[in-house]
C-alpha cells in the first residue's frame, strides 16, 4: 500500500475552505434535525456527524469537470460541489422548489447538466459500476475526467461492490472509490461482518492501488484524495481509499444507536474532525477569534435565509402529480455527448484494430534461466499425486527382479 507522496502545504484559503465546508455540513444537518423534529422533513434523515472530513476532503480534491455520486451521508460533498443548502432543505421537505419538484423527499437527486452529480442509488454498491461507466465514457469522449463515489463498510460486503471494482480495475477506469469505515453497518460492528483489519486490503484482489487514511483528519483526507485523483487522471487506473472514522449517531433519526458501547462513542467524540481542524488552524495562526466569529456569522446568515426559503416554498400542485413518471417532452433531460477529442479517432479506419488478443508469454512458463519455455502439463502434479507416485516407486524398488527360469517355472 503506497505512502502518500510528500506535498506542498495547502494555501491559507484551502485550509479555511475545508474548515468552512465542514462547519456548513454540520450546520445544515443540525438545521434539518430541528426541521425533522418539527415534522417538516417528510422522508428519512441520515446524519454524518463525525464524518464531515471525509465528504468535504474528498470532494474538495475533485475538479469542476469531474463527476461524483454521493451517498446518504455525503451532504458535505454536495455543498463542496456547489449545491446550495436550500436545495437540500427543500428536497427533504418535498417542496415544489426542490431539485425533484417534491417527488422524492430524501437525498435522491443530482445535477447532470452543470455540477456533474449522479443521484444516489439506494441499492448499496450499485454506484460503483455506474461511476465506472461514467469514467469510461468520459475517457472515450476525451474529457480527461475522474469519477468518485462513496461506500460504507457494510456496503463493501455486497456482491456488486466486488463486481464493480473488478470491472473498474479490468478497464483501468479513472475512478476513485472512498470506503467510509465508520465501524457500524446499521447495528452490526465491522468485526462481525468482515474478517479483515483493513478493508483497503480488498483492493489487492483486483490489482489496484489503495490508501488508508484517518477519516477525521480533513487535511490528510484531502491530500490523499488529491493524489488519488491525479493518479487516476494520469491513467493509473482506479484507486480505493479506506477512511477510518465513526458514525456518532444511529443509522437514521429513528435509531437511538443504543447498541454502541459508551466507551467507543466517548473515544471518537474526542476526535471530532471540526474540533481537530480548528485547533490546527488556531495553532498555525491561520484562524483567529475574529475570523472564527466572522465565519460563524456568515454561516448563520446563510442558513437562516436558506431555511426560510425552504419553509416558505409551496408543496407540489395537484396538477403536477402525473408529471415526471415517463420521459416525454420537456420532462426529459437534454444531455448529449460532449466530445473533447476528434470523433475520427474512434471511427474506422483510425479506430480499427487487429481482432486478435496479444498476450506476452501466453502459453509459456519460465525456465530456471528466466527465459520463456513451453509448458508441459505432465511435468507438474498436485502434491498428493506426487506423494502417491513416490510411494509406488519405493515399493517397486523393494521387489527382487524375477529371473527367466522363475518366470518359466511360474507358467
Read off the pLDDT of each residue in 35-60 and give the average, rounded to a whole number: 92
Which whole-number Å values give the CA distances from 371 to 365, 368, 379, in the listed order? 8, 7, 17
Residues 26 and 190: beta-carbon distance below 8 Å: no
Q: Classify 149 as helix, strand or coil.
A: strand
Provide, rounded to the nearest whole percent, the portion of the chain with pLDDT above 70: 84
Query: For residues 267 and 2, what is the distance between their CA atoms, to the nearest angstrom?
Result: 28
Asked if residue 205 belongs to a domain, the reply is: yes
**Chain mean pLDDT for the chain:** 87
CA separation, residue 324 to residues 112, 114, 207, 320, 330 (Å): 16, 20, 42, 9, 9
Give domain status of residue 105, yes or no.
Answer: yes
Domain that holds residue 174: 12-331
Q: pLDDT for 50-63, tens place per residue?
A: 999 999 999 999 99
Query: Which pLDDT score is estimated for 357?
Result: 79
Per-residue confidence (pLDDT) for residue 126, from 0 to 100:
96
Q: How far apart are CA 27 and CA 29, in angstroms?
A: 5
Confidence (pLDDT) at 7? 61
pLDDT beyond 90 at 289: yes
Q: Is residue 399 part of a domain?
A: no
Is residue 242 helix, strand or coil? strand
CA distances to 79, 83, 274 from 96, rounded to whole Å, are: 21, 17, 34
Give CA–CA dist 318/20, Å, rounded: 40
The pLDDT value given to residue 104? 87
Q: Report if residue 348 sits inside a domain.
A: no
The shares of helix, strand and coil residues in the chain, as percent rounded to the nearest 5, are 45, 10, 45
Q: Is the pLDDT of residue 143 over 50?
A: yes
Would you state the pLDDT for residue 391?
56
Among the ranges given (199-208, 265-274, 361-370), the one the predictor scored with the smallest mean pLDDT: 361-370
pLDDT (tens digit per residue) in 76-101:
999 999 999 999 999 999 999 999 99
Q: What is the mean pLDDT of residues 146-152?
A: 97
**Residue 411, pLDDT score:** 39
Residue 199 has pLDDT above 90, yes or no: yes
Number of domains forming the structure of the chain: 1
pLDDT at 405: 44
β-strand pairing of 239-244 with 184-185: unpaired
Q: How far apart are CA 100 and CA 123, in angstroms?
A: 19
Q: What is the CATH number of the domain that holds 17?
A: 3.40.50.970
Decide: helix, strand or coil at residue 366.
Answer: strand
* Domain annotation covers residue 279: yes
In a domain, residue 295? The reply is: yes
The CA distance from 168 to 157, in Å, is: 17
pLDDT computed for residue 160 by the predictor: 96
Q: Do residues 200 and 2 make contact, with C-beta atoms less than 8 angstroms apart?
A: no
Q: Is residue 27 part of a domain?
A: yes
Instruction: Report the length, in residues, of the chain.
Output: 411
How far is residue 313's CA from residue 319's CA, in Å, rounded to a whole number?
Answer: 17
Bridge partners of residue 189, in order along the sequence: 184
pLDDT at 410: 44
Angle 145-150-154 (CA atoms, 0-180°, nearest 5)? 155
Find the mean pLDDT for residues 256-262.
85
Q: pLDDT grade, residue 183 (50/70/90)?
A: confident
The C-alpha cell of 403 is what?
A: 529371473
- 72 grid coordinates: 446518504
Above 80 in pLDDT, residue 334? no
Residue 383 in domain: no
Amino acid at each position: 500500500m503506497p505512502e502518500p507522496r510528500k506535498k506542498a502545504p495547502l494555501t491559507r484559503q484551502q485550509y479555511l475552505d475545508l474548515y468552512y465546508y465542514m462547519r456548513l455540513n454540520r450546520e445544515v444537518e443540525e438545521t434539518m434535525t430541528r426541521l425533522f423534529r418539527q415534522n417538516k422533513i417528510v422522508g428519512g434523515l441520515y446524519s454524518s456527524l463525525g464524518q464531515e472530513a471525509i465528504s468535504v476532503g474528498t470532494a474538495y480534491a475533485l475538479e469542476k469537470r469531474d463527476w461524483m455520486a454521493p451517498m446518504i451521508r455525503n451532504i458535505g460533498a454536495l455543498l463542496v460541489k456547489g449545491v446550495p443548502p436550500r436545495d437540500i432543505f427543500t428536497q427533504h421537505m418535498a417542496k415544489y422548489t426542490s431539485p425533484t419538484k417534491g417527488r422524492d423527499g430524501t437525498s435522491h437527486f443530482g445535477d447532470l447538466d452543470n455540477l456533474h452529480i449522479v443521484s444516489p442509488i439506494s441499492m448499496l454498491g450499485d454506484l460503483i459500476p455506474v461511476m465506472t461507466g461514467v469514467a469510461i465514457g468520459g475517457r472515450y469522449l476525451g474529457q480527461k475526467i475522474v469519477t468518485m463515489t462513496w461506500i460504507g463498510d457494510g456496503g463493501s460486503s455486497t456482491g456488486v461492490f466486488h463486481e464493480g471494482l473488478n470491472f473498474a480495475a479490468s478497464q483501468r477506469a479513472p475512478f476513485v472509490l472512498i470506503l467510509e469505515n465508520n465501524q457500524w453497518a446499521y447495528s452490526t460492528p465491522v468485526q462481525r461482518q468482515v474478517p479483515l483489519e483493513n478493508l483497503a486490503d480488498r483492493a489487492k484482489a483486483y490489482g489496484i492501488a489503495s490508501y488508508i487514511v484517518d477519516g477525521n483528519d480533513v487535511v490528510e483526507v484531502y491530500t490523499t484524495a488529491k493524489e488519488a485523483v491525479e493518479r487516476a487522471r494520469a491513467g493509473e487506473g482506479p484507486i480505493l481509499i479506506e477512511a477510518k472514522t465513526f458514525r456518532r449517531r444511529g443509522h437514521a433519526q429513528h435509531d437511538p444507536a443504543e447498541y454502541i458501547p459508551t466507551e467507543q462513542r466517548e473515544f471518537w467524540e474526542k476526535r471530532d474532525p471540526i474540533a481537530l481542524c480548528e485547533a490546527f488552524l488556531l495553532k498555525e495562526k491561520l484562524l483567529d477569534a475574529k475570523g472564527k466569529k466572522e465565519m460563524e456569522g456568515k454561516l448563520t446568515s446563510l442558513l437562516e435565509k436558506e431555511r426560510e426559503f425552504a419553509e416558505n416554498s409551496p408543496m407540489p400542485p395537484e396538477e403536477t402529480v402525473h408529471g415526471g413518471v415517463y420521459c416525454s417532452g420537456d420532462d426529459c433531460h437534454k444531455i448529449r455527448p460532449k466530445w473533447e477529442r476528434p470523433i475520427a479517432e474512434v471511427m474506422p479506419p483510425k479506430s480499427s484494430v487487429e481482432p486478435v488478443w496479444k498476450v506476452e508469454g501466453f502459453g509459456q512458463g519460465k525456465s530456471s534461466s528466466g527465459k520463456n519455455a513451453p509448458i508441459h502439463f505432465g511435468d507438474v502434479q498436485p502434491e498428493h499425486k506426487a506423494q502417491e507416485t513416490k510411494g509406488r516407486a519405493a515399493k517397486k524398488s523393494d521387489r527382487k527382479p524375477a529371473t527367466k527360469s522363475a518366470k518359466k517355472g511360474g507358467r
